[in-house]
Copies of this chain bind each other. A is one copy, B any other.
């Protein structure tokens, strides 16, 4: 039986990914030099096409790192001397905060219970904060902070850098990148690639901040410090040998998503999410973990399965549908269903049909 992965990531590969990988392997892409013109063209095209797809300002830099987790570390290391401010509502936003601590910074935070929303109108960010750090989509709980709320915070604190983890939301989100300074993701979620590559979108202001830290004698890391990354990115290269084949495939997927159109991808994501949430809201057996419709993630739907009193994950697996367990303490109380561009309306309807049968 052919499986389909609705896991939060790694997830079902984007439909064309296997073909691109095989073609890339057959065409020696994995053997070309990371200093060659051929590689530079791959980097340059991603740089152009990703900016088009997500409406990123031209003067922003695109960096390639190892993972979303590395991107968290590099963001703090390059943009924070002493204090960052974190919106914590789950395991991944907490990792962002803890990373700042582990790097010897003194981060501050506001924290809400799992599945709950922030009351943005009441939050005051201290003026010692050099950077405000958001996790757009908290994969552990299925809460998405609407782009509009992030925008308001950015506009209220124009002198503070804004970092946004879009690991499990992008390409969905319709964000105003001109107000954001460091945005990052890994490719094994919304883009449906094998894991092993992180992408950072960095404003000139964030690079200046890294340079100012260096000028003060503060280490911003070595090969993945922003000053070194930006020097190499101007030549469309990485300081180290990056995953060339993976980048080749990412470039192909971005072009295909562009051809479909980001509006259509966003709209379909919302349609599929609505099908799932409508089903959950009407169900006697299942319910959406996130109650406030305004904060429900369209890309990671967290389902409370406690009333079902069955091993729903196993039951779905028997039908070939692989979903994520609940996160951490909610391991057995929730399932997590990813709704990425790779998942078709038909896939989601099939999933609902099986859940309905419980």
In order of increasing CB-CB distance, the 6 nearest A-B pairs are A196-B243, A66-B66, A69-B240, A30-B194, A102-B222, A5-B31
Task: Tell yes or no: A59 within 8 A of B by CB.
Answer: no
Q: How far is the CB of A49 from the nearest CB of chain B, in Å?
A: 21
A32 partner residues in chain B, CB cutoff 8 A: 10
For residues 1 through 49 of chain A, which have their beta carbon under 8 Å from a beta carbon of chain B?
Answer: 3, 5, 7, 9-13, 17-18, 21-22, 25-26, 28, 30-34
A11: nearest residue on chain B (CB-CB)?
B31
Q: Could you tell me the distance between the alpha carbons of A104 and B239 in the complex, rounded to whole angstroms?
A: 19
From A13, A98, A104, A194, residue with most partner B Cβ within 10 Å = A194
A242 to B33, CA, bound (A): 23
The reply on A299 being an interface residue by CB < 8 A is no
Q: Which residues of B contact A73 (CB under 8 A)?
A: 221-224
A246 touches B196 (CB 8 A): yes
Please, which residues of chain B bring their CB within 8 A of the CB of A26?
Answer: 18
A65 interface residue (CB < 8 Å to B): yes
User: Can you list, as one digit per residue, whether each of A240-265 has a CB less than 8 Å from chain B (1) or not (0)?
Assistant: 11111110000000000000000000
User: In this assembly, does A153 line the interface, its C-beta being within 8 Å of a C-beta of chain B?
Assistant: no
Quick one: which of A184-230 are within 8 Å of B by CB?
186, 188, 193-197, 217-219, 221-225
The binding surface of chain A is classed by DSSP as loop
Complex copy number for this chain: 2
Q: Which residues of B contact A34 (CB under 8 A)?
A: 10, 195
Kindly state whether residue A142 has any CB partner on chain B within 8 Å.
no
Contact residue among B7, B68, B225 (Cβ-Cβ distance under 8 Å from A240) = B68
With A34-B195, A221-B102 given, is the CB distance from A9 to B241 under 8 Å?
yes
Decide yes or no whether A99 CB sits under 8 A from chain B: yes
Cβ–Cβ contact A7 & B33, under 8 A: yes
Is A28 a contact of B9 with CB atoms below 8 Å?
no
Residues on the B chain within 8 Å of A69, using CB: 223, 239-241
Which A residues are closer than 8 A to B by beta carbons?
3, 5, 7, 9-13, 17-18, 21-22, 25-26, 28, 30-34, 65-70, 72-73, 76, 95, 98-99, 102-104, 186, 188, 193-197, 217-219, 221-225, 239-246, 322, 324
Q: State whether A240 and B67 are in contact (beta carbons under 8 Å apart), knowing that A3-B28, A223-B99 are contacts in the complex.
A: yes
- Residue among A66, A73, A103 with the most chain B CB within 10 A? A66
The reply to whether B195 and A197 contact each other, CB–CB distance below 8 Å, is no
Given contacts A34-B195, A67-B242, A103-B219, 5 further A-B contacts (CB under 8 A): A11-B31, A30-B188, A95-B223, A104-B218, A195-B245
Cα distance, A239 to B102, chains bound together (Å):
14
What are 16 of the A-B contact pairs (CB < 8 Å)? A9-B241, A11-B31, A21-B25, A22-B22, A30-B188, A65-B66, A66-B67, A66-B70, A68-B241, A99-B222, A102-B221, A104-B219, A186-B241, A194-B244, A195-B241, A196-B246
From the candidates B25, B98, B99, B244, name the one contacting A195 in the complex (CB within 8 A).
B244
Chain B residue at minimal CB-CB distance from A96: B222
* Bound-complex Cα distance A218 to B225 (A): 19
Evaluate contact between A10 and B30: CB separation under 8 angstroms: yes
Asked whether B10 lies within 8 Å of A241 as measured between CB atoms, the reply is: yes
Within 8 Å CB of A217, what residues of B? 104
By the criterion CB–CB under 8 Å, are B10 and A31 in contact? yes
Report B-chain residues with C-beta under 8 Å of the C-beta of A31: 3, 5, 7, 10-13, 322
